[in-house]
Amino acid sequence: MDFSVKTGELATLETACLVLGVSEPRTLSSAAQAVDHASGGQLSKQLETGDLDGDAGRMQLLYQLPGVAAERVLLVNSGKSGELDRRTFDKVLKAVFARSAELGLTELTSTLAEAPVAKMTPYQRQRAIAQAGAHSSYRYEHTKAKKPNAKPPLTTLNLWVASDAERAAAEQAATHAAALAAGANLARELANLPGNICTPSYLAEQARALAEGGTPSFTVEVLDEAAMGELGMGALLSVARGSREPAHLIVMKHNGGSPGEAPVVLVGKGLTFDAGGISIKPAADMDEMKYDMCGGAAVIGAMQAVRNLKLPLNVIGVVPTSENLPDGAANKPGDIVTTLSGQTVEILNTDAEGRLILCDALTYCERFEPAVLIDMATLTGACVVALGRHPSALFANDDQLAEALATAGEAAGDRLWRMPLWKDYDSQLESNFADMANIGGREGGAITAAAFLAKFVGNYSQTVPWAHLDIAGTAWVSGKEKGATGRPVPLLVEYLLRRAGLAS
């Protein structure tokens, strides 16, 4: 999607659709007042009908207003007068872009950033508008026949500002939103692809494609099973034994910071299909297990955004990727594997495989001597039971990192909720036959999964600030609107922008 920043007289602005805000009780925004004056009071007359009264997000579409160059004017109820909350603002944006999609608009001009929103700067409001527009424009078409009469998606979004003084913040917001939205939509596309297309090898190919074009600061390396075997990644490789698709370890590096500067390392679970292995999952909704690689997809999407923005940071993205299927060679309950760290794990449930591929990836990342280590995974159903589908779960060994991630999540509309990571839970992972078991029972399942991963960060030569994000409830939606959300790409990019001092 293309973004541009517009200023000047709204009445003379040529656009397919001009979006204007109206707050309750029946109050035109500053931008709407200017258009109302140019049209001889036509907007005020529309307000008198009461058609916009009620909930935020109600809309009225007007055509060919006298004295107004826009083909259409879309009036939208933006909530009660005064400062809006972020939830209401997001609701309004979702409604506007849903209506745009219904109309098949390819171009639109928004003035909604002039509405005051709690804890959001003008930059953040413009970026939220741009992200919402780009999110709505995504269409999954890879495996669908093209419909000749299908309505086109939005391709151009104009962000209007009242003065040149506001232009710089809006242009920065547009630049950041373009990269962020492209990364999120890449993550959505990879996750939405079926497992027979998006295999571990396909995922590796998409990561390699990011390095095409000869950008020396961005490189990609893919380790095959032989290389991982030589290293001793027994846990990761054990998961892949039941599949004909070979496992890979994808390593993407963006060298945008100073030489020798400790990197931010992102690790994402890349299970391109998870049938559960010998501990096979129920048949109902098993198709959604193609989404078990959403953590890996998010890392690839975030790394694309980092590359496009040329962030002045050293960032490394690592994606362990495989399938988890039942087979004669697959892991069996009771099997014991030796991890890259040298610790042994008793596999009591083969469906708790994500932590097995992540633990070796986390150990591998010690060689990078990271400043910060963040992993993300659709790891546990227990997380969804605990938190539902609104926030992702946050576990961290460092309060400063946890606070930074939570703050970034609030700013990006990609929220987190911190969960405990106490040593009390370690006893649930004890095994009579190995250094640990891979599950800790029904109680606190999301927490014991995080506690398992913590054992592979705790072996680092020095303590590294580490966070684990369980995105099982937020990475995709089910039902009629089934599809990947692209989360937590917005959170990750926001965190990295703030770390680079570029978020306003």
Show which residues are catalytic: 281, 355
Amino acid making up residue 377: A
Contact 70, 13 (CB under 8 A): yes
Q: Do residues 290 and 272 make contact, with C-beta atoms less than 8 angstroms apart?
A: yes
Q: What single-letter DSSP state applies at residue 117?
A: B
- Cα separation values, 198 from 138, 203, 205, 485, Å: 18, 6, 10, 17
Q: List C-alpha distances in Å: 235 to 299, 346, 425, 451.
A: 21, 10, 22, 17
- Residue 113 CA to residue 101 CA, distance in Å, equals 20
**Residue 238 token pair:** 């054990």
**CA nearest neighbour of 501 among 172, 185, 180, 260:** 172
Nearest to 190 by CA among 284, 306, 273: 273
Find tokens 């009461």 and name the residue: 50
Rounded Cα distance between 202 and 187, Å, is 13
DSSP secondary structure of 196-212: TTS-HHHHHHHHHHTTT
Q: ∠ CA(317), CA(204), CA(242), 5° rounding?
A: 110
Residue type at position 318: V
Residue given tokens 């026949």 in the structure block = 145
Distance between CA 224 and CA 201 in Å, rounded? 10
Separation of alpha carbons 293 and 271, rounded Å:
5
CB 466 within 8 A of CB 399: no
Measure the CA angle with vertex 494, ends 490 and 500; round to 5°.
Answer: 150
Q: Report the C-alpha gap between 197 and 359 in whole angstroms.
A: 26
- Residue 260 makes CB contacts below 8 A (sequence gap 6+) with none
The answer to whether 43 and 75 have CB atoms below 8 angstroms apart is yes
Query: CA end-to-end span of the chain, whole Å?
Result: 22
Are 76 and 20 contacting, i.e. CB atoms less than 8 angstroms apart? yes
